[in-house]
């Protein structure tokens, strides 16, 4: 039996899509979850869920990260789990991509996890235990046209995961990565039928994933039974990465 009670998890991008599924799944299994989003309005989506404590934070800003840390410490003496899920995309072909589009995506998707991991890691090292899980993407390994900024940020998370796992393993802290494929969130609702059909053609299971497919894997990685798994990337993509 997995034991999740008396654990505190910090989940970024927790108000919708994959992040909301992660926060809800962890909370429903007895964890205290600090759910992070960028606006008070978006936090309304998780505000009434049992065991979730909402907090508004801009993870690409170091001062906001410091405020978040102080908030977390007010609510828990131990920080057991960090899920770096928050991410944005600002798609464009490289010749048309604005510098701001490049910087903004890297700031949120890669710099944000760096800032947050660095500040929470001190407590994990002190307690000699912890779980860090980074949400990357199949685009981080395969690339995707029109997403050089997004792919670069998600590829960076893959390398970040491996490097950090080597640094903190001796402290009983595991660091792993999940690379989702095409998941049914609002990010794909605007895709044309032609694009969706092309994606389905490339997926051996012939269906899109659900946010819960990701959250269930994270639940396992948070468990004591996953204590010997670190530095790994798990592709939850219906086999899309096999092509």
* Residues ≥6 apart with Cβ < 8 Å to 211: 17, 18, 20, 21, 22, 183, 184, 185
| Interacting residues of 190 by C-beta distance below 8 A, sequence separation 6+ | none
CA 21, CA 121: separation in Å to the nearest integer?
A: 24
Element (H, E) at 189: none
Give the Cα separation of 175 and 190 in Å (integer): 33
Active site residues: 150
Closest CA to 108 of 137, 135, 87, 134: 87
Dist. CA 2–CA 18, nearest whole Å: 22
Q: Which residues contact 228 (CB under 8 A, 6 or more apart)?
A: none
> What does the CA dihedral 40, 176, 74, 25 come to, rounded to 10 degrees?
60
């Amino acid at each position: 039996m997995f034991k999740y009670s008396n654990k505190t998890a910090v989940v970024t991008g927790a108000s919708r899509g994959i992040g909301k599924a992660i926060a809800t799944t962890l909370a429903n299994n007895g964890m205290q979850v600090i759910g992070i989003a960028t606006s008070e309005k978006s936090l309304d989506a998780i505000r009434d869920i049992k065991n979730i404590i909402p907090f508004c934070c801009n993870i690409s800003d170091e001062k906001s990260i410091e405020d978040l840390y102080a908030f977390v410490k007010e609510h828990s003496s131990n920080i057991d789990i960090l899920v770096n899920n928050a991410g944005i995309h600002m798609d464009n072909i490289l010749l048309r991509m604005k510098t701001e589009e490049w910087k903004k995506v890297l700031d949120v998707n890669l710099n944000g996890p760096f800032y947050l991991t660095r500040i929470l890691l001190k407590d994990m090292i002190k307690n000699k235990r912890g779980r860090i899980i980074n949400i990357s993407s199949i685009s981080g390994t395969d690339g995707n046209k029109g997403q050089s900024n997004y792919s670069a940020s998600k590829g960076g998370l893959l390398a970040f995961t491996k490097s950090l796992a080597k640094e903190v393993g001796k402290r009983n802290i595991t660091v792993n990565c999940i690379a989702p494929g095409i998941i049914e969130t609002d990010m794909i609702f605007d895709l044309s039928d032609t694009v969706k059909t092309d994606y389905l053609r490339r997926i051996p299971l012939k269906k899109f994933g659900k946010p819960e497919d990701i959250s269930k894997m994270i639940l396992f990685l948070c468990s004591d039974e996953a204590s010997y798994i670190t530095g790994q990337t798990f592709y939850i993509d219906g086999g899309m990465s096999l092509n």
